[in-house]
Amino acid sequence: MKYRKYILIASVTTFLVGATSCKKYLDKLPLDTITTEAFYSDATQVNQALTGVYNAFGARTVSPGYGNPTPYYAKMDLFTEIGLERGLNGTIGSGAYSPTATTVAEIWNAFFQTVQRANSLLFNMQRAQAVMTPADYSRVQAEARILRGLAYWHLMVYFGDVPFFTGPLEQSDYFGATRKSKKDIIDFLIPDMQDAANALQWNPSEFGRVSRGVALGTAARLAMLDKRYALAASITDNIIANGPYGLNPSFQNLFRKAGQTANANNEIMFIYPFGDTDGGSYSYLQLVQGSRNQGGQSSHFPTQFLVDLFECTDGKTIDQSPLYIPGQPAKNRDPRMKQTVIVPGDTVIVGGFTSMAYTCTNQYLFSYNTTSGSISTTTTVNQDSANIFGPRLNGCGNLYRKYVQDRDINGGAASNFKVGWIYMRFSEILLMNAESKLESGASATDVATSINKVRARAGMPNASSAALASTASLKQLVRREKTVEFANEGIHMADMRRWDDGAYAAKVMAAQIYGQPLSAMSLVAGQGLVFNNPPSTPIFDATYQVPISWPNGDVQRLKRELRIFNPGQHNLCPIPQGELDKVPSLKQNPGW
């Protein structure tokens, strides 16, 4: 393949623009851009270019104009059965979208921008090799390759076969691009990740960078994506046996600033940290997930599916456990539920704002006294119920708690939120290990070893004898565990589409979305808030053991859209129409 100077010149400009750039990957490039002769000449410039690759990876929302600092990953679970967006129409989750959807183009552009920046760095950095230490040079190379591999993993999760580039290209290559098979891309990337791992230490050189563990974790993700389960088991066995990683004893501390800084047992393997002393480094995540009563905009919501998926403390699902109380759905549940979502009856404590006992249906707010622990009635209008954009009228009554508990630390409701976004943690390695061994035919005891570590940290009992009794029941447990452990972390789409070749997605996505009860709540002495008219318990699907229908939902519950899911269409997103218009050699996914 030939490399023309003007393409190399053009591609470097995306590094110089920085994280707020909105350059589209396949847009035609000008021929009179500034030259790169003075760049990549020393270690400082090479590392600046590497920072550009990290910034492209997804630390900020792509729209509008790459200027919103909310991590884009915070939107990804909203495209699945466990999340909702505030908009009712045209969303990936609803199924009512097309190849012209802005979100589809944003995903494509953002991750191809990462690929473009990584490839340009890898090609051009050789000019600084003589003035860099061999260790630093190898480290930069390895980190850029890993970020490129992670970007391609996302592109394949969303689009399947995609154009595959490993170096800068001439214009005819850009505009004559074709799609390479997912299998062939993974054939290249897995050994590339394993080789990159050899150039790095297990722990990152700096908090927020990738490492040997992330390289191998990416290889395992790629192997899972192509159902190379024996290979994924081998890779994760290596990480578990040889890496310096463990589980943070406190699940909630993973998603709080102080907990992330301490990073107990090195569970956080890859994170985008927001700088304490950098006024321009912050997130709006607390704003898009926050209660309307506390200055939030509440535009990202968990579904009732996710809420009802959390087991009771006896390890049984809510359709089977005698501990489940329909009038107090937050009682006796997996402790991760309280740290992941906010449901009616939960207390919400935010310094500097209103501390309350949450309800989305009552007209007035219930105040929570953080000193005495008491709840009292007020005459303050409940904006989570009344506001047209609030959780009752848009999100079926639930809010996310994960990632937003520190809203009173390092900033208020509107800006300067400093809790970092986690891209990979050791719990994922353990649960990939469990699933890959299950799919490879390992014994139930072997599969349960990793699952039980994650459950024990959460305060949940080990896998029951009933769960271990058959492959089907163990598979239900593994999948449920992965879903609740990583809810609102942006990686569920890959599992949802892979499980049973899309049959799982077809079962859970083509559904009427119901939410919390329409009933008001009353303050009961010694109990807290209790629903006046508790709804019926959901019915769980026999094959997947997940909530699949909510009896009498039209009468008893908040209601949103009837989702559309066409298995011949929605198991992959469409290639953005704008790319097809510019590059006729690209072909659309089936059904679109």
Question: What's the CATH number where 58 sits?
Answer: 1.25.40.890
Q: Are 304 and 396 in contact (CB under 8 A)?
A: yes
CB neighbourhood size of 206 (10 A): 8
Residues 445 and 558 in one domain: no
Q: Is residue 74 part of a domain?
A: no
Over residues 350-385, the pLDDT tens digits come to 877 889 999 999 999 999 998 999 999 999 999 999
How far is residue 454's CA from residue 448's CA, in Å, rounded to a whole number? Answer: 10
Q: Is residue 516 part of a domain?
A: yes
Please tell me the predicted confidence (pLDDT) of residue 90.
Answer: 72
Mean pLDDT taken over the chain: 89
Q: Is residue 187 part of a domain?
A: no
For residue 345, is it left (φ>0), alpha (ψ between -120 and 50) or beta? left
Residues 231 and 320 in one domain: no
**Statement: residue 143 has pLDDT above 60:** yes
Residues 392 and 355 in one domain: yes
Please tell me the predicted confidence (pLDDT) of residue 24.
Answer: 32
Residues 156 and 51 in one domain: yes
Residues 380 and 469 in one domain: yes
DSSP state of 316: -
Q: Which domain, by its residues, includes 3?
A: 1-69+101-181
Burial class (CB in 10 A: 0-12, 13-18, 19+), 154: buried
Residues 117 and 157 in one domain: yes
Residues 166 and 285 in one domain: no
Q: Is residue 213 part of a domain?
A: yes
Residues 342 and 367 in one domain: yes
**Statement: residue 278 has pLDDT above 80:** no
Residues 353 and 486 in one domain: yes
Q: Is residue 81 part of a domain?
A: no
- What value does the CA radius of gyration of the chain take, rounded to a whole number of Å? 24
| Nearest to 355, CA basis, from 305, 405, 389 | 405
Q: Is residue 189 part of a domain?
A: no
Q: Is residue 582 part of a domain?
A: no
How far is residue 251's CA from residue 96's CA, in Å, rounded to a whole number? Answer: 36
Residues 228 and 155 in one domain: no
Please tell me the predicted confidence (pLDDT) of residue 89.
Answer: 67
Residues 481 and 548 in one domain: yes
Please tell me the predicted confidence (pLDDT) of residue 22.
Answer: 31
Over residues 169-187, the pLDDT tens digits come to 777 777 889 999 999 999 9
Give the chain's domain count. Answer: 3
How far is residue 366's CA from residue 347's CA, in Å, rounded to a whole number? Answer: 10
Residues 141 and 28 in one domain: yes
Q: Is residue 65 part of a domain?
A: yes
- What pTM, to 2 d.p., does this model score? 0.92
DSSP state of 91: -
